[in-house]
């Protein structure tokens, strides 16, 4: 089990207050992380998640809107000077509208959060990641992409392209930061229960589950498992990978 232990490691999870981020934060704590910092825009949501997660370990909450570089810099400053072993760039948003009506504002909102935030926050936290980086057990950046960045869904124009961008950014940063003993990988989730997916799963949950080769949607441990693997010594030699966690949906 030592191979998958996160003992002594500190992690920061953006959007860690609900959905996939909360699944990951809990998983990292259950694998023994010394501290997990969760962040999202709403202070109240941060406090609620921190209270819920404290049953599993040491949690801190720092509210921040990571869709601007200024807030990424403030979040990094509030995190402080300590080492950061695992950064999970998870906060994300989506937008759907027909081609003819798709608003410019939905490009800015989605790209600012999904694609620019992982870049600016990772850059802002590089001193902390470098401080945690050890040969054989590098610091880790885990970007949450999407199978929508691999497949071609309709009407979510800014979302699908932002996620394809996240996957490419992951590979570019993996190449650049690898020599500094910092790995950068992406997880491309399939369907998981969350606020973002609530309306879709309410309307089409059974059809979606039936379409997935494993005949179900994702469960919290499916997301926790891949995050723990990528964050632990078990994933130390994985760099620049985009890992679909989708029950096989991208094979269709």
Q: How far is the CB of 207 from ligand NAP (least distance, A)?
A: 15
159 catalytically annotated: yes
Structure tokens given for 12: 């920061």
Q: How far is the CB of 131 from ligand NAP (least distance, A)?
A: 24
Considering just the CA atoms, what is the radius of gyration of the chain in Å?
17
Q: Please pick, among 119, 120, 157, 159, the residue that the annotation labels catalytic.
A: 159
The sign one gets for the Cα dihedral 171, 123, 20, 93 is negative
Residue number, 61 or 133, with CB nearest to ligand NAP: 61
Contact 140/226 with Cβ under 8 angstroms? no
Q: Count of residues for the chain?
A: 252
Binding residues for ligand NAP, rule: CB under 6 A, are: 14-15, 17-21, 40-42, 45, 65-67, 90-93, 113, 144, 146, 189, 191-192, 194-197
Distance CA 143, CA 78 (A): 21
CA 172 from chain centre, in angstroms, equals 17
Residue number, 169 or 197, with CB nearest to ligand NAP: 197
Structure tokens given for 7: 């003992």
Q: How far is the CB of 132 from ligand NAP (least distance, A)?
A: 22
Give every CB contact of residue 221 below 8 A, 6+ residues apart in sequence.
23, 27
Alpha helix positions (H), the chain: 19-30, 43-53, 69-79, 104-111, 117-124, 126-132, 157-177, 195-211, 220-231
Q: Catalytic residue numbers?
A: 159
């Amino acid at each position: 089990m030592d191979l998958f232990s996160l003992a002594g490691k500190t992690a920061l999870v953006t959007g860690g207050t609900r959905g996939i981020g909360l699944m990951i934060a809990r998983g990292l704590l259950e694998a023994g992380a010394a501290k997990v910092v969760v962040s999202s825009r709403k202070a109240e949501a941060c406090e609620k998640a921190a209270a819920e997660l404290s049953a599993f370990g040491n949690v801190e909450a720092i509210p921040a809107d990571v869709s601007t570089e200024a807030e990424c810099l403030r979040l990094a400053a509030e995190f402080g000077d300590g080492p950061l072993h695992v950064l999970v760039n998870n906060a994300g948003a989506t937008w759907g509208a027909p081609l003819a009506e798709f608003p410019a504002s939905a490009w800015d909102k989605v790209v600012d959060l999904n694609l620019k935030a992982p870049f600016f926050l990772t850059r802002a936290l590089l001193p902390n990641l470098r401080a945690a980086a050890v040969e054989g057990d590098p610091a880790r950046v885990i970007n949450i992409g999407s199978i929508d960045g691999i497949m071609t869904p309709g009407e979510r124009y800014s979302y699908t392209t932002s996620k394809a961008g996240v996957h490419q950014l992951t590979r570019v940063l993996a190449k650049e930061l690898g020599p500094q003993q910092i790995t950068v990988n992406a997880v491309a989730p399939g369907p998981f229960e969350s606020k973002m997916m609530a309306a879709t799963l309410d309307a089409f949950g059974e059809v979606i589950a039936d379409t997935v080769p494993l005949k179900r949607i994702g469960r919290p441990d499916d997301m926790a498992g891949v995050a723990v693997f990528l964050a632990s010594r078990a994933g130390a030699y994985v760099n620049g990978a985009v890992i679909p966690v989708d029950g096989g949906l991208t094979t269709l």
